Amino acid sequence: MQTPWIIGNWKMNGRIDRNIALINAFKTFRLPEKVHIGIASSYPYIHQLYTELQETSIWVGAEDCSQFYDDGAYTGEVSANMLADCGAKFVIIGHSERRTYFSENNDLLKIKLQNALSAGLLPIFCVGETLQERESGQEEKVIASQLAILRDFADASMIVAYEPVWAIGTGKVAEPEQIQAMHQFMNEEILSITGKRDKIPLLYGGSVNADNASIILKTSCVDGALVGGASLKADVFMRIITAATE
Ligand code: 13P
């Protein structure tokens, strides 16, 4: 079995003092060696997290990066190179909140993936269908169209996260059968799109918490979890990490 991944996505949360308190709480736990652990934070805190977590095995990442690669006159933008410079090791690309609120589409996400890879960051590429798409039986079609951009990244190291939009922040977690069926579909789809034999780790995200983590992480074709709200509580996040070792 591959080493599982547990990645926290803090979204637009955090303050310097609160981050310190959370990190200090993490540091009191003995982190398992056989789990890849990461925290994605808002841009201003990446370097703080990098500095504070340097002695631990926890990777720091970003939640997005700019479509622009080279330095230049792009007011307000943060490039993938800057993120790497600040200590980020990975970056979430194509989260549904970015697709929804910032109209991010395949053309843009292709550029962002390329930028992340060029800067040496590990992309965590997110896909997911809305409730309406699932209820109308379109979920595989939607996921296949989101995954289509991987055609240009056949040899790239990356992670893919399945986050059904209807399960994000709603407390409505997908059933293990739904997760397993979709992850199996995604494995087959990625193989057919890229012709790639190396397995891309597939994470599940959407209302993962300390109570459901164990069953989700034991579901076949699930290589880890992308955790939103529950990653903001040290003891809960730690219980999810522990569930990955079982
Ligand atoms: P929640 O765990 O809060 O549902 O968020 C999931 C998510 O969007 C992680 O990227």
Q: What is the CATH number of the domain that holds 225?
A: 3.20.20.70
Predicted confidence (pLDDT) at residue 172 exceeds the cutoff of 90? no
Tell me the percentage of the chain whose pLDDT exceeds 90.
Answer: 91
In this prediction, residue 159 carries a pLDDT of 97
Pick the closest to residue 200 from 145, 162, 242, 240 (CA basis). Answer: 162
Number of domains in the chain: 1
| pLDDT band (50, 70, 90) for residue 1 | low
For the chain, what is the mean pLDDT? 95
Is pLDDT at 197 greater than 70 in this prediction?
no
Instruction: Please give the model's pTM, rounded to 2 decimal places.
Output: 0.97
Q: Where are the alpha helices (DSSP H) in 15-95?
A: 16-27, 46-53, 80-85
Mean pLDDT of 29-49: 96
Tell me what pLDDT residue 195 has.
85
State which residues form the domain around 16.
5-243
From the alpha carbon of 167, which atom of ligand 1 is closest? 4
Indicate if the pLDDT at residue 8 is higher than 70.
Answer: yes
Nearest to 163 by CA among 178, 151, 149: 178
Of all protein residues, the one whose alpha carbon is nearest to atom 5 of ligand 1 is 228
Position 141 scores a pLDDT of 97
* Ligand 1, pocket-test mutation among 127, 208, 232, most atoms within 8 A of CB: 208
